């Protein structure tokens, strides 16, 4: 399936003056389709894995449809596997790789999206991926405390829809979180084996760090499949921001070690200038090599098959190419569909809040708080910095085309970076009581100011732009430890194929707003540093329209901006919370097994009891690495469980068998 970009006709009837809607923009998108629209992963059927077109992107509705989804016909293929993984995102790709290391295990990986198109490999073009055929295009439900200036009061939450999942469309930032994040999972939330000393080896296991001479080996690895490096390109504004941070008294260092407070030029999930998704790192090298791996793309899982009497998962039902199929698992089903889709799969399978399932006439197999504990790293549009002509990176259309051809040939030039998003700041506000722990993060997103101020309320709907070309920064504040919690419900109109409803409840806790405002007031001071003044950077003091009844720069103004121009940093977590058996809010145990259901696990970001104080792609990869080892320990023995309370052996008396018998 080729990449299908967002249809600009959806916005250009009302935004004809923006750069996105100019004839050159249409021509540029055609160039991108020509150069990067296909996938290097596509192989004819019979070439070792399945590729079955049939999922069609509907621009009129912004959604997807399957031919024949109304049919009740079952196509029984009766194929049996040892493990079935539902979801080919970050976690699913890691699991498929690690489980197929056991040559006797047959593994099926089911992914609802397409193969990963080559457009995802171009770092600067990540906004061209949003609202396209590789984005699920989720929206939050309207709420009074956030997204008030967005169309219909709803915020867009992009999530990846291809092999690689959100690792194929995200900002590529490699930040893990601090040691206390994981010690908190273990100590406060009661999950033995998830403390920092236990999970650090799994971060290192995945990692092949290209800057190891600088960052050292105490916290980093060099033998893993995932390439980590800095972008090969930085413009002068990036270096000016870094100098400004030093002038504000910030220390710059590797923020993936023992401490976080300060700043850095971050490392990213890239290899030789290209995005390196979980699909690129964990699937491409083994595809058509390991014969025990079967991959089905464009295959939408409708439910996990669970015996209601024994409460044992034994397979998955899915739709591919308009037909329903069942696949069977001899050992386990592992749901890795992500924080927003995993609850949907579980609830459709009869695992979830009993009252909600009964509303949809879904037989309740296990009453669990699936979909609760939703939280995210919220950000907002502002403050905004403008640059003078001295450092503006905006170029004529012909130069943009030349840069694109350069990238297509050698993966270098302005498109081989995300511009200001390479900058990271961690700070602690007065609300953070834990010593040396950040509760706020900042990054800088390049923007063309004329386009933004043409209609700030809908700017996120008209984001077809390359990050490399800008004359301003949105200095994005990111709350790292939000108090607010939301939830996920099944779609009222179409619970199976409709996108689940996201009730984010952003800023429903007043402290979250207070933290954001304090951090913004501190960070705007960077525009007063000598380096930033030297290059002509200044704080844009034009009030945003929804908040122009407040004096610019006051606390009341920034509170209004936060509530009105809300957006996401794409880090939702928590909807299948990990916790001990006595935790009534937990869905999975510390070994990621679903409570009350045998041979069913959840392994993805949804199990996080609390979001890490960092970007979540690296922690999700760690969860999958650790989860894969747990699966191997439970089925093969020879390993240690999370808290070292048992040791598997090679002889006949294997305590791992007891664990499976009780599960």
Q: What is the dihedral of CA 36, 67, 305, 491, to 10 degrees?
A: 90
382 phi, psi to nearest 5 deg: 145, 160
Helices 555-564 and 510-523 cross at an angle (nearest 10°) of 120
CB-based contact 278:89 (threshold 8 Å): yes
- CA-based nearest residue to 274, from 473, 399, 90, 413: 413
Point out which residues pair with 55 in neighbouring strands.
66
Point out which residues pair with 165 in neighbouring strands.
none
Q: What is the dihedral of CA 269, 570, 188, 485, to 10 degrees?
A: 180
CA 501 to chain centre: 18
- CA-based nearest residue to 388, from 274, 330, 470: 470
Q: What angle do CA 374, 113, 45 make, to 5 degrees?
A: 155
Point out which residues pair with 162 in neighbouring strands.
114
In the structure encoding, which two tokens stand for residue 591, read together?
Answer: 């070994």
In the structure encoding, which two tokens stand for residue 56, read together?
Answer: 């069609």
- CA-based nearest residue to 450, from 386, 543, 400, 397: 386
- CA-based nearest residue to 287, from 604, 43, 561: 43
User: To which residue do tokens 């179409």 refer?
Assistant: 494
C-alpha to C-alpha distance for 414 and 47, rounded to whole angstroms: 37
C-alpha to C-alpha distance for 632 and 217, rounded to whole angstroms: 27
For residue 35, the number of C-alpha atoms closer than 13 Å in the C-beta half-sphere is 21
Name the pairing type of β-strands 293-296 and 299-307: unpaired
Let me know if 626 is exposed, middle or buried by CB neighbors in 10 A (0-12, 13-18, 19+): buried
Q: DSSP for 205-232?
A: HHEEETTHHHH-SSS--SSSSEEEB--S
Tell me the catalytic residues. 571
For residue 50, the number of C-alpha atoms closer than 13 Å in the C-beta half-sphere is 18
Residues 6+ positions from 124 with CB-CB distance below 8 Å: 414, 415, 416, 417, 418, 419, 466, 467, 468
3-state secondary structure of 238: helix
C-alpha to C-alpha distance for 306 and 413, rounded to whole angstroms: 52
C-alpha to C-alpha distance for 128 and 33, rounded to whole angstroms: 11
CA-based Rg of the chain, rounded to a whole angstrom? 24
In the structure encoding, which two tokens stand for residue 577, read together?
Answer: 């919370």
ω before 52 within 30° of 0 (cis)? Answer: no
C-alpha to C-alpha distance for 471 and 212, rounded to whole angstroms: 34
Q: DSSP for 324-362?
A: EEEEEEEEEEEE-S-TTTHHHHHHHTTEE-HHHHHHTT-
């Amino acid at each position: 399936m080729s990449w299908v970009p967002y249809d600009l006709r959806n916005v250009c009837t009302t935004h004809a003056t923006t750069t996105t809607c100019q004839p050159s923009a249409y021509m540029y998108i055609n160039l991108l389709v020509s150069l990067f629209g296909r996938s290097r992963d596509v192989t004819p059927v019979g070439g070792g894995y399945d590729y079955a077109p049939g999922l069609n992107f509907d621009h009129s509705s912004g959604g997807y449809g399957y031919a024949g989804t109304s049919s009740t016909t079952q196509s029984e293929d009766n194929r049996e596997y040892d493990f079935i993984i539902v979801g080919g995102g970050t976690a699913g790709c890691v699991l498929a790789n690690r489980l197929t290391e056991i040559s006797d295990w047959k593994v099926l990986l089911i992914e609802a999206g397409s193969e990963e198109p080559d457009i995802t490999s171009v770092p600067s073009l990540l906004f061209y991926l949003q609202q396209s055929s590789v984005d699920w295009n989720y929206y939050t439900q309207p709420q009074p405390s956030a997204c008030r200036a967005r169309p219909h009061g709803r915020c867009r939450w992009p999530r990846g829809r291809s092999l690689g999942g959100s690792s194929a469309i995200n900002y590529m930032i490699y930040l893990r979180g601090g040691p206390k994040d994981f010690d908190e999972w273990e100590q406060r939330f009661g999950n033995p084996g998830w403390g920092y000393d236990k999970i650090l080896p799994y971060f290192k296991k995945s990692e092949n760090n290209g800057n190891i001479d600088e960052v050292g080996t105490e916290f980093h690895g060099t033998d893993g499949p995932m390439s980590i490096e800095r972008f090969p390109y930085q413009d002068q504004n990036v270096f000016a921001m870094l100098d400004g941070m030093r002038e504000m008294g910030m220390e710059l260092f590797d923020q993936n070690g023992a401490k976080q407070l300060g700043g850095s030029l971050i490392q990213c999930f890239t290899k030789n200038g290209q995005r390196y998704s979980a699909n690129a790192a964990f699937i491409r090298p083994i595809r058509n090599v390991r014969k025990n791996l079967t991959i089905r793309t464009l295959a939408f899982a409708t439910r996990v098959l669970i015996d209601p009497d024994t409460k044992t998962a034994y397979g998955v039902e899915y739709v591919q190419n308009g037909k329903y199929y069942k696949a069977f698992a001899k050992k386990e089903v592992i749901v890795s569909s992500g924080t927003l889709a995993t609850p949907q799969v579980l609830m459709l399978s009869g695992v979830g809040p009993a009252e909600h399932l009964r509303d949809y006439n879904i037989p309740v197999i296990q009453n669990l708080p699936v979909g609760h504990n939703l939280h995210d790293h919220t950000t907002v549009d502002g403050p905004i910095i403008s640059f003078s002509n001295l450092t503006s990176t905006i170029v004529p259309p012909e130069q943009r085309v030349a840069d694109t051809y350069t990238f297509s040939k050698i993966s270098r030039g302005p498109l081989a970076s995300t511009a200001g998003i390479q900058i990271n700041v961690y700070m602690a506000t007065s609300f953070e009581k834990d010593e040396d722990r950040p509760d706020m993060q900042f990054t800088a997103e390049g923007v063309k100011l004329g386009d933004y101020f043409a209609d700030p309320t809908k700017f996120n709907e008209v984001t077809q732009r390359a990050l490399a070309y800008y004359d301003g920064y949105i200095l994005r504040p990111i709350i790292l430890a939000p108090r607010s919690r939301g939830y996920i419900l099944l779609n009222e109109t179409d619970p199976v194929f409709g996108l689940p409803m996201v009730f984010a409840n952003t800023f429903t806790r007043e402290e979250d707003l207070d933290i954001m405002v304090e951090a913004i007031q501190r960070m705007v001071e960077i525009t007063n540093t000598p380096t930033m003044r030297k290059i002509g950077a200044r704080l844009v003091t034009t009030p945003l329209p929804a908040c122009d009844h407040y004096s610019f720069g006051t606390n009341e103004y920034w509170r209004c901006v936060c509530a009105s121009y809300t957006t996401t940093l794409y880090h939702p977590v928590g909807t299948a919370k990990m916790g001990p058996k006595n935790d009534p809010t937990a869905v999975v145990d510390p070994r990621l097994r679903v409570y009350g259901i045998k041979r069913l696990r959840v392994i993805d970001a949804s199990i996080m009891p609390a979001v890490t104080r960092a970007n979540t792609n690296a922690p999700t990869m760690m969860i999958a690495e650790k989860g894969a080892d747990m699966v191997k320990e439970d089925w093969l023995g020879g390993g240690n469980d999370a808290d070292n309370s048992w040791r598997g052996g090679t002889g006949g008396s294997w305590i791992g068998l007891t664990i499976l018998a009780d599960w």
